[in-house]
Amino acid sequence: MPRIVFTEARIKTLKPRRNARDIRDARLRGFGVRVLPSGRKCYFIQRQHLGERVWKIIGDAETVSVGEARALAAEMLAAIRRGDDSLHRPDETLFEAVAGTVFERYARVWKAGTLYVNHSYLRKRIMPHFEGRPVADIDRQEVRSWFASLHATPVAADRSLPVLSVIMQEAEKMGLRPEDSNPCRGIRRNRRKGRERFLSDEEIGRLSARLAAHETRWPQQVAIIRLLLLTGCRKGEILTLQWPDYREDRLFLRDSKTGPRTVWLSEPARTVLDGLERKNRWIFPASGTDRPRSVTWLDYFWHRVRAEADLEDIRLHDLRHTHASLALRQGETVLAIGRLLGHRKPETTLKYTHAADPMIRDAAETVGTLLGGN
C-alpha cells in the first residue's frame, strides 16, 4: 500500500481508478485516505488492537482538511491504544442505508425478476438480523451466526448469502468498510441434492400424448411446452417472443438471463412456430391486449398436463434439463450444449454430465472388451 506525505495539494492530485484504493500517510502510522471510483475521497484510520482490526472513517476529504483529519486520526488512534471506546462514532452508516443504495444502483443492472427475488430475500431473511447495525461493525462471526440461523430453510440461506455479499462489497466501494473485509467471503453454502430432473424417453412419450390430446382446445399452451422441450429455452424467453425475433430459421432473443443470444431451431421447432396464427407482434399474445401471456397462465395448464401424464415432480424448467441431457446422450460436446442453452460459463453446463452415465458405462465396456481380447 503506497505511502505519501498528505498535503492538500497531494490529496487533490489523487485520481480515481476502476477500483477503490487506499493510500497511507507517511507521517502518521494508521492514517490513510481512500480514493473511490466515483472520485470521492475519505480519510480513515486502521490498526490492529488486541488481535482485531479496527477501521473507522474520519471524514470526507471535501469537507475535512488534511490537518484536521490528521489531528482526529491521532486522537482516535491514541484512544484505541488506551482501550477507550468513547470515540465510537454514533453516526456510522447503518446497514439498511447501504442496502437501499445498493438496490437503487442494481435496479439498472439486475433483471426485473432477479431484483424482485433479491429484494424479497433482503426483506425477509437479511434485514431482520442486520437492520440497525453499523455496516462497518458487521464481522464474519456475525454473518456465520446469521447463516446458521437459517438452517431450517437452506435454499433461502444459500440465496440470501450472495445478496448480503453484494451489499458488503458495495460498502467497501463506498468507503464504509476496510478494503477486502467482506465478511461473507469463505462461508460455505449448504450442501443440497441437485434439483435437475430429466425425463426418460417413456416419460417424454406420456407427456407428448397428453399435449396432443389438448392441442385443439389449448393450442398456445401446447405450443409453448413443445418449444420449451425442443429448444431448451427458459419459459420467460418463449413467453416474451415477438414475431420479428423469428427469422432465418432462428430465434434472436432480445434478452435472456445472460443477455441477447441466438437460438438455432430444429425442423420440429420451426413446424410448431409456423403453425401459429400471427395476431399481433407477440407470438403468444394475451387475449385482447398488446402484452405477452403470463407465467401464471402457463403454469395453470402445466400443472394439469403433468398430473395427467403422472409427472407431478416435473417442473417446466426440467424440460430445459431434458433438452440438455438428450443432446449429451447423442454425443454433443459440453461446449455445444452450453451454446444451445445460452450458458455464460462452462461449469454451468458441467452439471448435466452425470446424465451421460449410460454412455460412459457403454464406453467402458467397449474399451474393456477390446483390451481384454488382446
Number of folded domains that form the chain: 3
Model pLDDT, residue 173: 82
The reply to whether 164 falls in a domain is: yes
- Interatomic CA distance for residues 109 and 343, integer angstroms: 18
Residues 207 and 307 in one domain: yes
Counting residues of the chain whose pLDDT is more than 70, the rounded percentage is 81
Model pLDDT, residue 317: 86
Domain that includes residue 241, residue range: 201-360
Model pLDDT, residue 90: 40
167-196 average pLDDT score: 82
Q: Which residue has the cell 430475500?
A: 121
Question: pLDDT of 305-323, one tens digit each?
Answer: 999 999 888 888 888 888 8
Q: Grade residue 70 by pLDDT with cuts at 50, 70 and 90.
A: very high
Q: Are 149 and 126 in contact (CB under 8 A)?
A: no
Nearest to residue 66, comparing CAs of 20, 25, 37?
25
Domain boundary among the residues 154, 173, 192 is at: 173
Q: Name the more confident of 173 and 163.
A: 163
Q: Grade residue 373 by pLDDT with cuts at 50, 70 and 90.
A: low
The reply to whether 87 falls in a domain is: no
Residues 242 and 319 in one domain: yes
Count other Cβ atoms within 10 Å, centred on residue 71.
Answer: 13
Sign (positive or negative) of CA dihedral 137, 138, 141, 145: positive
The reply to whether 178 falls in a domain is: no
Tell me which DSSP letter residue 68 carries.
Answer: H
Its pTM stands at 0.53
pLDDT at 344 over 70: no
In sequence order, what are the residues at sequence separation of 6 or more whose Cβ sits closer than 8 angstroms to the Cβ of residue 159?
Answer: 117, 121
- Supply the Cα-derived Rg of the chain in whole angstroms: 28
Domain boundary among the residues 153, 173, 193 is at: 173
Domain boundary among the residues 173, 193, 216 is at: 173
Model pLDDT, residue 360: 46
Model pLDDT, residue 38: 76
60-89 average pLDDT score: 82
Q: Name the more confident of 328 and 250.
A: 250
Residues 169 and 206 in one domain: no
In sequence order, what are the residues at sequence separation of 6 or more whose Cβ sits closer than 8 angstroms to the Cβ of residue 63?
Answer: none
Nearest to residue 63, comparing CAs of 91, 87, 41, 44?
41
Question: What is the phi/psi pair of residue 351, to 5°?
Answer: -65, -15
Report the CATH number at residue 225: 1.10.443.10
The reply to whether 179 falls in a domain is: no
Model pLDDT, residue 194: 54
Residues 127 and 211 in one domain: no
Residues 165 and 41 in one domain: no
